[in-house]
Every structure is written in structure tokens, then in C-alpha cells.
Structure 1
């Protein structure tokens, strides 16, 4: 099956990781021959080209860009595409408009966010719903939001994001992070690897660390990996709170994320908006317990059945600091969460299960 993966911005976030993962695992056994088209280039283009995936840039100025739809239809004819897999509303609308120019096209849309659409968008969703072949929500709340946004539930499948446990396997001794940062082997390390933006919650996370210093005597370091517009304001906040470099360490954007996981004891998610975070499930596959906000699809991952960590209230430093205190002071509970994390990945978030389920959606779309 020839599948064109269509993405407006081909950067370095979770959606790009999702596309790269599908391309890797669905093409490995020959089920899918992947192609890629994009509006704005970035790291994903480089990675896919390195894998030998044909790529092409298509200008997509808006959701109803007829010129882009014609160009997309022509490209699908050139590459003999059976199905377009889209990831944001802009390219999804354009792909459905492209059906007017190429009757062979079938469209699958994965919704990566849990966001309420405005009235105009909800209306256009309902009008275009009959052109949509299949949709994927990456969490249960995502499916509910799609339906609230005007899409028909009959063609929405919930398929959790997933990882390959073998990729993230390994021991603490393999990590160079602590040596690099000068962190003692016996110091408790918490990791948060998110872009410094409003919805990622760094400001209240840093407030939580200050609160933790008042609640807990166990030595700890919070390692903050990432870049973004709020990086410098967060640095200033740390200084204003008199937190030391031993307590909060900024290390910038890193590509050696496995190295960071293996050098840490706990993964922290402080985000306001999540569908189903790759960073959380990667960290769990690497053997890390998790503290996550009770937002979006996080409760599909962290819950009593999974036993892999704790959910906390978003933007509540007392809630976050209290959960951190439990993890720092109760090593037996931490160990139970570590085992729960690995087990949950195998049971619910294993890559071959995701790839198989996604290919079944492709077949439904193509065979109608």
C-alpha cells in the first residue's frame, strides 16, 4: 500500500515522532511504501530522507487552499498513492478537497490534540465528515472531543501511541548524564523534557520544586531539558526563588533522550494539554515511574490499574510537590511504579500493536 504522510510543519515534536514511528515499523515488513509531503520543512524531513522516503514540499496556506488540493491530487497521481494520512486540520481539509481532483484518494486523519473547535470549525467539520474515510484518536478523551467537534463517531478508532520496549531497554550504567552534569550517583534525579511554552507548566513546576524543598530533606535535582520562548523567564524564576543549580538544572534541547531517561529516577509531566505523550511512554519503557498532570489522555497511561506513577492537579504546586515527596521518600513505592511502568508498556503501548491496529484502519479506509 502506497501511503502519503502529510504534515503542515515537519519539526521535532510528538506528531513528527508519531509519523517517523509509523513509517519505520509499517515499512519494515513491506506492508506500506511510505511517501512524505509537507508545507514547512524541519528535522523530520531530514530523518525521513535519510531513511530513503521520497519527500515533496507543497505550499498549504489555509484549510481551504484549492491550489494546494490540486497539487496534492497531482502528486498522489504521480506517486500512485492509495491513502493519505494527515495529522492536523489544515492538511486534513486539503486532502479531502483533493478527492475532487483524484477519485482514488482515501484519507485517514489522526487527531493529536484535545482541543475545542470554534462554531465555524465545528460546522465545517460536520460538512466534510462525509468525505472522511477513517479517523484515529490517540486517547479516549481525544475521541470524545472529536465527536464534540462535529465528527461522526462511527469512523473514529482509538489507537494509543506506542514505543518499542527494546529500543529503550538498558541499565543506569549506560548513561553519561550524571557524570556530564556532575550529579552524584546517589542523588535523586527528576527529568522533565518539554518545550518551554505556556501550556507545558514549567512555571508552576518550578514553584513546586520550591515547595518540595520545604517538605522533603532528600537531596534531589530536577533536570529540565528543552528550549523555547519561556526558557529565559524560567531561568529568572529559579534565581528569584533562590533555587540552586544542584536543585534545578537547565540543559537545553537534547537529542540523547534515552541517555537522560537512563540517568534519571523519575519522569515529570507538567503539561496543560496532552493527548497521549510520547515522552511519558518512552520514559516508562526506559523504566521510569511517572508523575503526570490529570489532563488529556494522561489518565489512559497513569492510573491505578497501571500502577506506574501518580496523577496530579495541573497548576497546583502543592499537588505536584506532594507527589514528588512520595516518590523521594518511599523507595518501595517507587520500585513498584518502576515495574508497573514496564508492564504497562508491554500491555498497552507496545509499537507492534499500534502498527497493526493502524494498518487495519488503512485497510478499512482503502477498501471502504
Structure 2
């Protein structure tokens, strides 16, 4: 079965990495996935190609950029150029399924696909619909496209409820949770070396947050929370902030320094050794203001970390409060501080990590996720 995925870019993000795992995993199950990226290039391109998944896309020619000059004009022309290229690819490849990931890909690809050859059309929403309040045109176009899709997927029950509120029917809706390759995130033998490479002693308590530096990921809340409890943590500690800087790293660092924890908050940037970093850590954190369903939470649980997460999107569907971690309100630094301190002082936190790992194995494995997609593409409602 030929599958054509459409996504905005090949940058390192949760949706992009999820699509990488899904598309390469489906290759082994007899599917023939390909990807069209609206913005071509990006660090994940090579990983898709090495996994046997062709990547398509176009870039506006240099001569066109020189003529247009204006960044806005170049962006609009580039989008139109990509739309035409995608339309042509549809007719050349004639996939049986076209699957759109994230709003930009859905709007551009969804509209264009209506003028392409017959194919089953699927959209995946991976966040709550809060962004629609800021982008009313997106909201109008998405609501117009929904009834023209064969299936509309969400990665958490919270996302599915959003889709129902937008007019998606129960027959259309499909819940497929994110999945994790557990064996990739259970590397206890790497702990000592990673700590040594980062100059972290054995007795140091290590927190880790894996999230690109974007305001809604809540790093400011986390820094404020740590500032409130820094003198109550009775051992050396650090917090590893892993993720791409989207322009706020310097501001966050300055805030940490001003609150007296500049040395403890470490910004590591985008990393390829996330599993190793998780295994070198003791407590996982995700303090987002909004989420669909976080891969980072599942990966932390797979690495046996007790998690402290905010109650947004599907976080509370993954983390069972009091059993595999602690769930707190978003945008509440004081409550986050209390939860972090409670986790530090909890002698049973390793058992929480074990329980979280077991939950991943039984519910959120990559095999279960891939089976959900395979059922969806084959026309089964089992997912």
C-alpha cells in the first residue's frame, strides 16, 4: 500500500520524530511510505532516507528569490511553489492514502489533495486547538476540510474531544496514542559515562526536561519553581534543558542567573543522545501550557524516570498521578515547585519510575502504535 505523508518540515520536533518512527516502522509491515515536506531540508531528512522512506519537496529557485526580494513575497511564492509540486507528486505517485500531520500541512496539502487523484485522506491533530484562537483563517479552513477527510486522528482523548467540538463525527475520529521503542530508552549502562562527560557527580540529583525552547513549553515556570525550592534540596542538583532554541535561551539563562540558579540550569540545545541523557537523570519534567500528547513524557517513562507534568492535553492520560509521577496545573510555578520538592523527598520515586516503565510496555509501545496505524490504513476501526 502506497502512503504519502505531508508535514511542514524535517526539523527536529515531536511530530516529525513520531512520523519518522511510524513511517520507517511501517516499511517492515509491507507499506510503502513516502513524505512530502512543505519546507524541504532539515536535520531529519537523512534519517528518513536511511530508514527507507523517500522524502520529496522543493525550494524556490535562487533567481526567483532575487527577483522577489521581500521575505513575505518569497514565503508566499515558496508556499505556492510547494503546493504545485505536491499536486504534481500526487498524480505521479498516486498513493492510496494521503496523511497530513500538523496544521500547515493539513491546510496546504488538504486543499491541494481535493484536486488530485482519488485517495483516502487522513488528518492527524497532535495538539489542542488553542492555536485557532490566534489564527482564525486556520480555524475556518480546518473546519471546512474536516468533512472532506475520511478519517481525523488525535493522539489523546483531550485532542479527540477538541475535534468533536469542531464537527468531526465519531465515525471519522480515531485515537492512536504515540508509541515508544522501549529498548531504545533503557540504557542504564550509559549513566556513568554521560554524567562524567557532563561533569556531573554521582551524588548530584539530575532533573531533565526535553522540550524545544518555546514560550508555551513553560521553562520560565520551571525556573521560578526551582528558585523557590533551591535551598530545600539538600544535595547538589542540576536541571538539563534539552531542546532547540527558538529564540528565548538567552532570556531564560538571564532569569536563572538573576534567581541564583544559573549554574544549576543547563541548556544543552538540540541533542541526538536524548536516551542517554534520560538514563543519566533522576526525575523527568514537562511543564507545558499546552500539549496534544507528549513524546517526551513517554520517553522519560520508558527510561524509568518518575515524571512531574502539567495537566494539559494527554499528559494525565500517560502519567497516573501518585503512581507513575505527579500531575500539576499549568502556569502554576508554586504548585510545580511543591511537586518537584515532593518528588525530591519521596523515597519511593524509583518505584514510580518502574511503574511508569511498565505502563509504557503495556499501553504505549511502538508496536501498539504501529498496529493502530496499520489498522487505520487497511480500513479497520480497531484503532
Return the alpha-carbon distance in structure 2 between the equivalents of residues 143 and 108 of structure 1: 14
What does 1:147-158 correspond to in 2, within 5 Å?
Answer: 147-158=164-175
- Which residue, 286, 310, 324 being the options, matches 2:340? 324
Aligned to 2:103: 89
Structure 1 residue matching 2:179: 3-state secondary structure: coil
- Which residue, 253, 273, 280 being the options, matches 1:235? 253
Aligned to 2:63: none
- Which residue, 352, 364, 367 being the options, matches 2:379? 364
Structure 2 residue matching 1:162: 3-state secondary structure: coil
What does 1:75-86 correspond to in 2, within 5 Å?
Answer: 75-86=89-100
Contact conserved, 2:186 with 2:275, CA < 8 A, in 1? no
| Alpha-carbon distance, 1:99 to partner | 4.3
Aligned to 1:302: 319
Return the alpha-carbon distance in structure 2 between the equivalents of residues 177 and 5 of structure 1: 36
1:275-308 per-residue CA deviation (whole Å, 9 max, x = no partner) reads 111111111111111000111111111124x821
Normalising by structure 2, report the TM-score.
0.87
Return the alpha-carbon distance in structure 2 between the equivalents of residues 174 and 239 of structure 1: 28
Structure 1 residue matching 2:153: 3-state secondary structure: strand
Return the alpha-carbon distance in structure 2 between the equivalents of residues 66 and 189 of structure 1: 47
Q: How many residues align?
A: 360
Name segments (4+ residues, structure 1) moved above 6 Å: 59-62
Contact conserved, 1:293 with 1:313, CA < 8 A, in 2? yes
| Alpha-carbon distance, 1:130 to partner | 2.9
Unaligned ranges ≥5, structure 2: 61-74
Return the alpha-carbon distance in structure 1 between the equivalents of residues 227 and 122 of structure 2: 45
1:57-89 per-residue CA deviation (whole Å, 9 max, x = no partner) reads 157978xx8875554343123223111111123
Q: What is the root-mean-square deviation in Å for CA atoms of aligned residues?
A: 2.4
1:183-227 per-residue CA deviation (whole Å, 9 max, x = no partner) reads 111221101122222111111211111111243323321122222
Structure 2 residue matching 1:344: 3-state secondary structure: helix
Structure 2 residue matching 1:249: 3-state secondary structure: strand
Q: 1:66 to 1:166 in 2, by over 3 A?
A: same
Return the alpha-carbon distance in structure 1 between the equivalents of residues 369 and 172 of structure 2: 17
Pairing 1:131–2:148 present: yes
| Alpha-carbon distance, 1:317 to partner | 2.0
Return the alpha-carbon distance in structure 1 between the equivalents of residues 378 and 353 of structure 2: 37
1:72-111 per-residue CA deviation (whole Å, 9 max, x = no partner) reads 3431232231111111233223444344433422211110
Pairing 1:352–2:371 present: no
Contact conserved, 1:37 with 1:58, CA < 8 A, in 2? no
Aligned to 1:140: 157
Structure 2 residue matching 1:254: 3-state secondary structure: coil
Aligned to 2:307: 290
| Alpha-carbon distance, 1:154 to partner | 2.3
After superposing the two structures, state which structure 1 stretch, 71-80 or 181-190, moved more: 71-80
Pairing 1:176–2:196 present: no
Aligned to 1:336: 351
Structure 2 residue matching 1:43: 3-state secondary structure: coil
1:18-72 per-residue CA deviation (whole Å, 9 max, x = no partner) reads 1101112111132x1111111112122222122232222157978xx88755543
Normalising by structure 1, report the TM-score.
0.90
Aligned to 1:35: 34
| Alpha-carbon distance, 1:260 to partner | 0.4
